[in-house]
Amino acid sequence: MPEIHDPNLLVGLNTGDDAAVYRLNDELSLVETVDFFPPMVDDPYTFGAIAAANAVSDIYAMGACPLIALSLVCFPRESPDLPLSALVEILKGSADKAAEAGFPIVGGHTVADKEPKYGLAVTGLVRTGKHLTNATARPGDQLILTKPLGTGIIATALKSGLARPETISKVTSIMTTLNKAASEVMVAIGVNACTDVTGFGLLGHLTEVTQASRVSAEIRLAQVPVLEEVWGFIADGIVPGGNYRNLKYVANCVVWDEGVSEDAKLALCDPQTSGGLLISVSADKAAALKEALKAAGVETAADVGRILAGPAGRISVVP
């Protein structure tokens, strides 16, 4: 993309951030993001809800509030497996999730496409200067993760019919959970940086944070929440291509301790759909943040590692 020179563009393309931030005036800034993808679950209503929770997550990762959204729809004109009623269900699931988050879906656009896809372009608002970016993590910060990892591997198992019903419902409830409460809590406490964990996995997104913030990080594997079922699927070779791509993407940044298994490396690189927030908070506020997250009903608030002074982008992973 060509470089943009606009003094009102507070967050653009440079920091690999979750959303763009555009200053309207001294009071308010717009926050803009878009996300859409093919279904990862069979039920169209659930897919719509996941797509909406995932799209708005980038607004929450910036410490902002969603205002309105537009639908992006790709759907086959005529297909025996995909009646138009499935699209109605996708839109219903999305609208219900948006209503839960407190924003309306005010329009959209549809393109005829053999493979269905759905998502949202979301516009949010934030007080000018109060947005959270990838670029402001500080040495000494603790890293808090608000959802367990493993949705990518489990979605792959699901497609092959290998996931148990209770595993499917667990992973569905994780992916449809909004990052709203977690975002509101971190904004109230005051944290240094935040991103959400999505397609690049925990280590891929942490790489963006450490590069943009010009710091290093340490991840303690034992403290990273991973859905239990994931280990069996990895052992059986049920791993999406994205895990290997992510592993390759972080190869130059990550220093693996000898005690970290190949299976664990794949888990830490699992691409997430609608994953949790990865919050960089100063050590003196970490306990208060975790307590407030629990009190707000956020089930996971795991202390997965810390930010260190060191070469920009470097991440060491220890057992």
Q: Where on the chain is the footprint of Co ion (CB under 5 A)?
A: 18, 35, 58, 196
- Which residue, judged by CB position, is nearest to Co ion in the bound state? 18
CB of 162 to Co ion, least distance (A): 28
Nearer to Co ion, 211 or 261 (CB): 211
Considering the complex, what minimum distance in angstroms separates the CB of residue 160 from Co ion? 26
**Any alpha helices (H) in the chain, and if so which ranges?**
44-61, 84-101, 151-159, 165-176, 180-189, 201-213, 229-235, 241-249, 262-268, 283-295
- Which DSSP letter does residue 6 get? -
66 SS3 class: strand
**Which residue lies nearer to Co ion by CB, 48 or 163?**
48
Nearer to Co ion, 273 or 316 (CB): 273
Handedness of CA 99, 103, 108, 113 (dihedral sign): negative
Least distance in Å: CB of 108 to Co ion?
9
In the complex, minimum distance from the CB of residue 51 to Co ion, in angstroms, rounded to a whole number? 12
Distances (CA, A) of 259 to 148, 222, 225, 244, 268: 21, 11, 18, 20, 14
Closer CB to Co ion, 196 or 218, in the complex: 196
Minimum separation from the CB atom of position 251 to Co ion (A): 22
CB contact at 8 A, 151 and 230: no
159-168's contacts with Cβ under 8 Å and 24+ in sequence apart are 159/40, 160/238, 162/233, 162/236, 162/238, 163/229, 164/229, 167/227, 167/229, 168/41
Residue closer to Co ion by CB (options 50, 260) is: 50
To the nearest whole angstrom, how small is the minimum distance from the Cβ of residue 279 to Co ion?
Answer: 13
Maximal CA-CA distance, the chain = 58
Rank residues 18 and 270 by Cβ distance to Co ion and give the closer one. Answer: 18
Minimum distance from residue 54 beta carbon to Co ion (Å): 8
C-beta closer to Co ion: residue 112 or 283: 112
Q: What is the DSSP string of 172-193?
A: HHHHHS-SHHHHHHHHHH--SE
**Do 1 and 81 touch, CB atoms closer than 8 A?**
no
How far is the CA of 71 from the CAs of 65, 95, 112, 138, in angstroms? Answer: 18, 10, 14, 37
Give the nearer residue to Co ion in terms of CB position, either 196 or 229.
196
Q: Give the separation between CA 95 and CA 89, rounded to whole angstroms.
A: 10
Distance of closest approach, residue 94 Cβ to Co ion, in angstroms: 16
SS3 116: coil
